[in-house]
Structure 1
Amino acid sequence: MSTLKEATRARLKTVSTPTLATALYKRGLRNQFIQDVHALNPGLPTMVGEAFTLRYMPAREDLNPITVFQDPEHPQRKAVEICPPGAVLVMDSRKDARAASAGGILISRLMVRGVAGVVTDGGFRDSAEIARLSIPAFHSRPSAPTNLTLHQAIDINVPIGCGDAPVFPGDVIVGDADGVMVIPQGIADEIAVEAVEMTAFEDFVTEMVQKQGRSIRGLYPATNPQTKLDFEAWRKERGR
């Protein structure tokens, strides 16, 4: 059952992953960015959802013939069918994109079921097809061979590593054109509120730099007391 508040989801859709990285770093969390994954469709709105995980291990040939896909309980197929709507399917593919974590049909099924997005630290086949879908998808690079050649789907909804980031079921996943952040479930609400505040200040700073030509000294960070007064006036004027 989802515990992600709709207000928190809405806030997280308005902030960037770099801003979230800073907010998490302030709390000593330095390893929450999923390394080396890229959006296939970066023009889509920001992806936000709770993590539902799938873990791959190195394939053992006698246990992983192509006939395993005939089993409706096969972990990969099952994950696609039970990943909750609004969640993000996060796959641990051991940072190995030589074989595909999934392809266009499975990603389409996730999209139709209302899943919020999909992430693998491996690769997808049919990447051009996936890039045209309306579901956010992140991978390392395109992969043509089926996962059966190298990967064996083994566990559903267990703690995993994805792109060197720890991902626990229920963690909040946020993905945009810059990449994917993992927010520990217990602090998602407060991180979302803080990130919205940080975004307002960053928007103010950007406007001061681009439109007024101000120096960043005393502005970013706001070490000049006048900066804080200017920011409050800016917020009031814009309803931020």
Structure 2
Amino acid sequence: MIESSRDEACVVSEAVAALRRSSVATVSATLLRRGLRNQCLIGIRPVADRTDVMVGPAFTLRFIPAREDIDTMAWLARPDNVQRRAIEECPVGAVLVIDARSCIRAASAGDLMARRLRFRGCAGMVTDGGFRDTAGIVEAGLPAYQRENAPCASPAGLHPVDIGQPIGCAGVAIYPGDFVMGDGEGVIVIPAGIIEDVARDTASASDYEAFAAEEIDNGTALFDIFPATDRSIEAFRRWSQAEN
């Protein structure tokens, strides 16, 4: 049983490594071929331009609207504050994904929280709302994705209610453990149960795209190369053998 768990962890690690060599756009096409059309977090962009790829299992935090008699700076300082718990409990390698109800009246998190996540070895954070102190987040080096900046502190508009539960973020259903991937273009969610298959298919699709780019540069018409045809697949097979 222990050996099986280790093997599974190794497979997941290899899948994550493969996805880091790909892109959100390529993964979205892979998921579309599997009938999954609503996995991209629409309108969510990196806080700063990124050339690397963020990938990790989702650890979720959910907010509801704030209420004046509850949400104060004193509430934020309490040891049982759910937002601060999320920062301290997000697992190593995971992405903190925040359901802020698309609220930008208040921040989902700020630079000190980003620094703490980075120190603890978390992979990144994503919100369908906004972050504050974004210059500090960039300096901290943690991959962070948002709708737009939200300079007001979270108690001004948001109340944290739970962690580790299914959420909706930017219109996408996200279950704890689903894999979250982000690059310079945006963020996509991969259901946990198909991470290995998606990584394999995406790697193959990336190789085909490299082949297709060469063919187009050599004058091949788009109709003959994209989407793939029987003839182009055979040419790709020969190209792959020559490359290897």
Query: TM-score, normalization: structure 1?
Result: 0.94
Is 1:100 the equivalent of 2:107?
yes
Equivalent pairs: percent with the same residue?
Answer: 38
Query: TM-score, normalization: structure 2?
Result: 0.93
Q: Which runs of 5+ in 2 are unaligned?
A: none
Structure 2 match to 1:234: 239
Structure 1 match to 2:26: 19
Residues in 2 aligned to 1:106 and 1:224: alpha-carbon distance in whole angstroms: 51
Q: 2:227 aligns with which of 211, 217, 221?
A: 221
Structure 2 match to 1:159: 166
Residues in 1 aligned to 2:189 and 2:24: alpha-carbon distance in whole angstroms: 9
Q: 1:79 aligns with which of 66, 74, 86?
A: 86
Question: CA offset at residue 224 of structure 1?
Answer: 5.1
Q: 1:127 aligns with which of 120, 124, 134?
A: 134
Cα distance per residue 1:161-209 (max 9 Å; x no partner): 0000111000001100111110111111101111111111011111211
SS in 2 for 1:5: helix
Question: CA offset at residue 44 of structure 1?
Answer: 4.3
Letter matched to residue 232 of structure 1: R
Residues in 2 aligned to 1:223 and 1:233: alpha-carbon distance in whole angstroms: 14
Asked if structure 1 preserves the Cα contact closer than 8 Å seen for 2:109 and 2:154, the reply is: yes
Question: CA offset at residue 57 of structure 1?
Answer: 0.3
Q: Which runs of 5+ in 1 are unaligned?
A: none
Structure 2 match to 1:58: 65
Question: CA offset at residue 237 of structure 1?
Answer: 2.4
Question: CA offset at residue 117 of structure 1?
Answer: 0.7
Question: CA offset at residue 233 of structure 1?
Answer: 2.2
SS in 1 for 2:227: coil
Cα distance per residue 1:87-136 (max 9 Å; x no partner): 00000010111211111001010001100010001001011221233221
Structure 1 match to 2:204: 197
Q: 1:91 aligns with which of 98, 123, 128?
A: 98
Asked if structure 2 preserves the Cα contact closer than 8 Å seen for 1:41 and 1:132, the reply is: no
Runs of 4+ residues deviating >4 angstroms: 1-4
SS in 2 for 1:152: strand
